[in-house]
Amino acid sequence: MARSATRARGGNADYWPGFVDALSALLLVIIFLLSVFMLAQFFLGQAIVGRDEALARMNAQIAELSEMLALETQGSQDLRQQLEHLEASLSQTTRTLAEAQERAGSAEARLQTTGQSLEDEQEISVVAQNQAALLNQQIAAMRQQLAALQAALEASEAKDEESQTVIANLGKRLNTALARKVQELSRYRSEFFGRLREVLSNRSGVEIVGDRFVFQSEILFDTGAAELNVSGRQELRKLAVALLDISRQIPQELNWVLRIDGHTDVQPINSPEFPSNWELSSARAISVVTFLQGEGVPGNRLVAAGFGQYQPLDPRETFDAYTRNRRIELKLTER
């Protein structure tokens, strides 16, 4: 009997070192996985910060290009006004030249027909010719100015087109960056809903409608009351744990909020505490927000809204429809 007891004790002692080695190996694996997760979070944060800085630079470039485009547009308008003024001056000069040429022709005609006052007529003709030569020089100078203004106007319009192209490209890049932000929020929303499905998978009275989680009011509140019951506190505590876990992964620059919407059925309520369904639905939404904030969810990430009986899921006037319409909806969205 003594030898049997000794062998039994000896057998138990031989298993213990292997068990300790297995626990040590498991602890090392867990520490390694936690290190990898922390490194991934760090690099993800760095990438998002860099992208936000690039987005800010693009916004600054767009503002600068818009100012340059306004200046170029104003310059183009000034050039067009100068061009119109010179065209008017050219037209006036052309008319003056035509009148001078007519006078010279008249003088020559009178010289040929009358033969009198030849010297006077010759002087008049010389003066008219000199005036015509001067006007021709002025016209040539004006045409050179018109050509220079036209070239400047074409260069300004080309620069305007280039600026418009740059702004369009920056706008596309900005839209792409904004779309990425929306995709990031959608990804975290999917993770949040996935966690809630795990937490609340075995709970009746909870359903998914579109992009919202819907709690039947009977799970959280007693009839006609806005104070959370024991069962409601337990369910919302699970929700708070899941929300805090997901919120640690969402980048700070994403302006997300959890919107809590209170709804009632169409049956009227008239009590000293709640004169109408508006007060009851709002008070229930506020109770949920207050509880989640007490569980550690930041207040700036929570929104409470009351809809009364005006957003029913089921428009029928039946007991089942009333039950379904009395609800609290949760939606992870952007502020």
Report whether pLDDT(3) > 60.
no
Strands across the sheet containing 302-306: 206-209, 212-216, 327-334, 256-263, 302-306
Contact by Cβ (8 Å): 111, 45:
no
Q: If you average pLDDT over residues 233-253, what whole number do you get? A: 85
What percentage of the chain exceeds 90 in pLDDT?
Answer: 28
Of 15-24, 116-125, 203-212, which one has max mean pLDDT? Answer: 15-24
pLDDT band (50, 70, 90) for residue 8: very low
Please report which confidence band the pLDDT of residue 325 belongs to, taking 50, 70 and 90 as the band edges. very high
Residue 41 pLDDT grade (very low, low, confident, very high; cuts 50, 70, 90):
confident
- pLDDT, one tens digit per residue, over 72-109 is 777 777 777 777 877 777 778 778 777 777 776 776 67
8-35 mean pLDDT: 75
Residue 333 CB burial class (10 angstroms; 0-12, 13-18, ≥19): middle
Contacts of 115 (CB under 8 A, 6+ apart): none
Percent of the chain having pLDDT more than 70?
77
Q: Give the number of residues written for the chain.
A: 335
Question: Of 226, 231, 242, which is closest to residue 296 (Cα–Cα)?
Answer: 242
State the pLDDT at residue 55.
75
Q: What is the mean pLDDT of residues 124-134?
A: 72
Sign of the Cα pseudo-torsion (46, 47, 51, 54, in order)? positive
Q: Is 261 helix (H, G, I), strand (E, B) or coil?
A: strand
Domains and CATH numbers, the chain: 48-179 (1.10.287.620), 203-334 (3.30.1330.60)
Least confident among 5-14, 44-53, 310-319: 5-14
Residue 2 has pLDDT above 50, yes or no: no
**How high is the pLDDT of residue 111?**
58
Determine the Cα–Cα distance for residues 207 and 117; give it in Å rounded to an integer. Answer: 116
pLDDT tens digit sequence for 167-192: 766 666 666 555 555 555 565 556 66
Place 1 in a pLDDT band, splitting at 50, 70 and 90.
Answer: very low
What per-residue confidence (pLDDT) applies to 204? Answer: 61
Q: HSE of 268 in the Cβ direction (CA atoms, 13 Å)?
A: 3
pLDDT (0 to 100) of residue 315: 93
